[in-house]
Amino acid sequence: MSPEVQSNMRDIKDAPAFDLSVTRPDILGAEFLGEGTNFALFSDHATKVELCLFDETGQKELHRLELPDMEGGIWFGYLPGIEPGQVYGYRVHGPYEPEQGHRFNPNKLLLDPYARELRGQIQWDDALHGYTIGEDDLSFDTRDSAPFMPKAVVVDAKFDWDTDRAIRTPWQNSMIYEAHVKGLTQLHPDVPEADRGTFRALGSDAVIEHLQRIGVTTLELLPIHAFANDRYLVEKGLSNYWGYSTLSFFAPHAPYLKSGQIREVKEAIRKLHKAGIEVILDVVFNHTAEGNELGQTLSFRGIDNASYYLLSPDNPRHAFDTTGTGNTLNVAHPMVLRMVMDSLRYWVEAMHVDGFRFDLASTLGRESQGFERDGSFFNAIRQDPVLSGVKLIAEPWDIGEGGYQVGGYRWPFREWNDKFRDDTRAFWRRDPGLLPAMAERLSGSPVQFNHSHRPATSSVNFVAAHDGFTLWDTVSFNDKHNDANGEDNRDGHDHNLSDNMGAEGATEDEGIIAARIRRVRAMLATVMLSHGVPMILAGDDFGNTQDGNNNAYCQDNAISWLEWNKARDEVLNAVQALAAFRHEVPLSQSRFGAAPDDAQDRQPVFHWLHPRGGAMEEGDWQDAELRCFALHQISPDGTELLVLVNAGDDAEFALPEGEWTLRIDTSADEVAQDSAVSGTVAVGWQTVMAFLRNGPQAA
């Protein structure tokens, strides 16, 4: 035993005693109160809860103490002398009646749902299951799971935030960059090698300077909550790289912390805030890492399976799965809802994050009658004085019946808009008949979002995200190439709407490479010049590839890590120019545009123009082969913006009368332009052009 362990143990070599005069049921989790720690755990169906104290390594259980009191299903007790750094877990007693939904097994050490920091990783072993592997789930396993479990750690919440305050970048000025903590930093040549893959790297000068260069206002991180690397992946030599398998909703994923301490997260957020960059988290409250009834018992299942999870109403032995992962968190339960809300508030108030993207958000709105846009979770968010003011983004679908709900959420939620992705990819692939759809996407998708007093920033516009092809792969592969995932290329979807432009994958053909660059720049311009909120996948700003893998969830390696040394300047410079233009021009506004006869005060006026000159007519919209048109926008301040898109061959376009300033031309060597034009202009194939009049630098 090390001297450090002996030193930590001196204060608790004898079993500590609870002080019933101080104990509090209203503070869930382990809360250090200055001279001791209050422990509280919710379990409505338990008969006894034991607190287990471990040495600092988490390997030796020192004491097992029964929580002395219970109110309203909350078991609690205050232990004097227990300080930050103390490692702990729970054993929960109750009925083992799987057919009634109860799976209590005190042989299984359980992670505190409110744990702020974890010690150790899951070591996969059959003892982690509440039933005996090899028998059905009605059996009962008596082996101790503690040696194989991560444990919770009592933390000290003190941190000097200096003058850090929420940035609150308006939605109409926001540009989102979706990134993975490790993938973004693991191969960055200007990040110290020892820091790569961690929050220390995320807050490095090199990463921040890049984000500032391309105009990022909001960094959206793939899950950083502690998550499990699923057993079947580990046994195949893979891992749950994306992190959509939550183990704890309060603790950060330990491998992302160089020191293992949560202060690293705070330090990175503080540095990003000083650079004017918000941080929002992709959160997974729809399911957990425990899987279905045949899965492992790590936390919620052993604490109170019937409360924390949705179970089949016909047979509570089985989980009710709307997520495709085996289980569904029962957010409609008031104490589970409280846990979710407490987690969100913790990350805003204690960790200073600026918002959240909710994975499979439709699951969070599932009530007894199916998806409810006014369900308890959404209503709780809307009335919360802390959470209603941060950035909230829904992934508006799940796999359950009625789960696809794009446009179905209320303010203040914004939504990932996969219709934008699909229509934009298909349009630039030169699919016929897509002008009406592209007009919708350029104007903020009003059919989906212009209702219920929702603003024109409700649509989060993207052409690639972590799930699917990268943007470069969208123009480089006709088919997915997921062989490295070990599922014979059966995983991942086939709806890629991609086009390899003449060669499958990497090529040395200069003509194909040039065509790919041109189409990528056009698609990025479509994202950046459309109404709504633009989102770019990390690496798409410089042509990153995953070698055709459109489901790289298990690839913690060079397939997923960004290859900074292969950055394509032609793409990077275009993103920089587009971001600068978007920043200076009132492109995205809070109100949807309208036709001249329908426009109200403070509402932009939209004209749709044909290449021959003048307005698009009814028959023009039905011309399946027409691939060139323009949006002429007149903002309330008088600024006129013309966004011209041409997915077809070289063409000519008759501009509206008068002199215009060309500001963006994605077909040019230098995307950013500044020249006066009038009359008819030549429009290159696969090109986006933007013109200004009566606006910034338009004269």
Give catalytic residue positions: 359, 395
**Measured distance CA(520)–CA(471) in Å, rounded:** 7
User: 435-442 and 418-428 are packed helices; what angle lies between their axes, rounded to 10 degrees?
Assistant: 130
DSSP 410: P
What's the distance, Cα to Cα, between the start and end of the chain in Å? 76
The first and second tokens of residue 444, run together, are: 């903020």
Q: What is the DSSP string of 67-108?
A: --EEETTEEEEEEET--TT-EEEEEEE--EEGGGTEE--TTS
Structure tokens at 38: 């209050």
CB 126 within 8 A of CB 110: no
Alpha helices by DSSP H, 495-568 = 510-529
Sign of CA dihedral 331, 337, 339, 344: positive
For 401, the 3-state DSSP assignment is: coil
What are the angstrom distances between the C-alpha of 3 and each of 9, 55, 84, 88, 675? Answer: 10, 12, 18, 20, 73
Q: Which two tokens stand for residue 545?
A: 């590839």
**Three-state SS at 417:** strand
Q: Do 525 and 574 contact (CB within 8 A), yes or no? A: yes
Distance CA 515, CA 429 (A): 12
Q: Can you tell me the distance from the alpha carbon of 521 to that of 623, in angstroms, rounded to the nearest whole number? A: 25
Instruction: State both tokens at 59.
Output: 């390997």
Cβ-based neighbour number of residue 646 at 10 Å: 23
What is the three-class DSSP state of 41?
strand
Question: Torsion angle, CA of 138/142/144/145, rounded to 10 degrees?
Answer: -10
* Residues shown for the chain: 699
Beta bridge partners of 634: 605, 640
Cβ density class 575-602: b for 16+ within 10 Å, e for less: bbbbbbbbeebbbbbebbbbeeeebeee
